Structure 1
Amino acid sequence: MDNSGFEKLFAGAPLMAILRGMGAERSLAVSTTAWDLGIDVVELPIQTPDDVEALRVVAAAGRERGKVVGAGTVVSAEHVAQAASAGAAFTVSPGLDLDVVRASHEAGMLSIPGVGTATEVQLAMKAGLTWLKAFPASVLGVPWLGAMRGPFPQARFVATGGMNAANAGEYLRGGASVVAVGSALEDAAQLPLLAGLLEGTGRK
């Protein structure tokens, strides 16, 4: 179960947008803010029928703009099927469930499992997965990322949970390949800081 395709998907971009429970109209508006800012990859967690509809709307808009949209909080085969039918390009899970990863790949979607321990990182990498979601990143902390780099130098972490413009840079410097931000995209004061992070990678 190789998910190294995320290397190309993120294309060196340090930020991903997560839009949770916003509904279709607001999700589309915030996705547009993200895309205009230079954040190409958007994730919409799917926990309700409204979430799935929002994913469908944003995925369609993303395809028109050449942007990548995925489904988050995917914890079952049913979620995988919903994500695929809504047009998601990838799935993200809060924990490590290889059945969900396998089902996602079989449905043509890349998949990132969540990890929070060395055991989970080792199991994920044993299965061929190099891109992993560090969750909840704000609880794990920056030192956790550094500690994982020693035994698992091939691992690529997407720091998720409690991330914003103020701490994203610290997590990126500490070993995260990507930081996922959400509410920061609706805070006008944080947008220039996010843009600064993108400028540092030549994405803006």
Structure 2
Amino acid sequence: MDLKDWLARCPLVAILRGVRPAEVEAIGEALIAEGIAVIEVPLNSPDPLDSIGRLARRCGDRALVGAGTVLDPADCARIAEAGGRLVVTPHADPDVVRAAKAAGMLAVPGFFTPGEAFALLKAGADGLKLFPAEAASPAVLKALLAVLPKGTPILPVGGIEPGNMAPWRAAGAAGFGIGSAIYRPGDDAPTVAAKARALQGALAGA
């Protein structure tokens, strides 16, 4: 499936920053049970490739599993080898996008300006991460979508929680990357499940 197919299943990307390999499978199962279909393990988490591998083996085709905070193009091959199928960056680096695509993965790089967005799409990005969303607004997103190629999926990331999703969706957000509103280090699987339910409820209302 391509990125749009996964986002059609659920437009929320669970960002598990700080998750540990020993807990990641239970948390992944809790997320899937609540309908979350895209799970990202940032590379600045403990043993992230181990966590990605465990999730990929456990979840199979039930979820799109990948890595976030990918800064080095060389990491893309290692992520793919671990079983990851998604690369997310915090910054606009076309080299990481090209490396992710060469490794057969989906790429959702971070951007903040129209120039960055067009350069990343030219490099092969499957979607774009508007980051940090706290420094932008739904009006900014709407203006960007007016000039980018029709159908470009943009996911605001940063500060997204149940109370502020509706205006972003109305402006055209294809989905959201959700960090602390869905997982903080130390959260157990039931806690993550409860957060996911709250987000899903807010999404339905949006």
Kindly provide the amino acid, as one letter, of the partner of residue 108 in structure 2.
I
**2: CA distance between counterparts of 1:102 and 1:197?**
35
Moved more, 49-58 or 35-44: 49-58
- Structure 1 residue 73: Cα displacement: 1.0
Partner residue in 2 for 1:184: 181
Change in 2 beyond 3 A, CA 1:31/1:167 = farther
Q: How does 1:98-117 map to 2 (within 5 A)?
A: 98-117=94-113
Tell me whether 1:158 sits opposite 2:155 in the alignment.
Answer: yes
| Separation (CA, whole Å) in 2 of partners of 1:191 and 1:5 | 23
- C-alpha change, 1:48 and 1:164, in structure 2 (3 Å) is closer
Indicate whether 1:24 and 2:21 are aligned: yes
Q: 1:115 to 1:53 in 2, by over 3 A?
A: same
**What is the correspondence of 1:107-146 to structure 2 with a 5 Å cutoff?**
107-129=103-125, 131-146=127-142
Q: Deviations over 1:71-110 (max 9, x none)?
A: 1111112321221121001111111211111111111111
Q: CA–CA distance in 2 between the matches of 1:33 and 1:170?
A: 28
Q: RMSD over aligned Cα, in angstroms?
A: 2.4
* Pairing partner for 2:11 from 3, 10, 14: 14
Any unmatched runs of 5+ in structure 2? 183-190
Mark the CA change 1:174 to 1:12 in structure 2 (over 3 Å): closer, same or farther: farther
Hey, what's the Cα distance between the residues in 2 that align with 1:192 and 1:51? 25
- 1:172 to 2:169 alignment: yes
Helix, strand or coil at the partner of 1:29: helix
Q: CA deviation at 1:130?
A: 5.2
Give unpaired runs (5+ residues) of structure 1: none
Which residue of 92, 95, 98 corresponds with 2:91? Answer: 95
Residue 59 of structure 1 deviates from its aligned partner by 1.6
Q: Does residue 66 of structure 1 match 2:71?
A: no
Mapped to 2, the partners of 1:91 and 1:197 lie a distance apart of 26
Q: Is the 8 Å Cα contact of residues 18 and 46 (structure 2) preserved in structure 1?
A: no
The amino acid that maps onto 2:200 is: A
Matches of 1:82 and 1:102, distance apart in 2: 15
Shift of 1:9: 2.8
TM-score (norm 1): 0.85
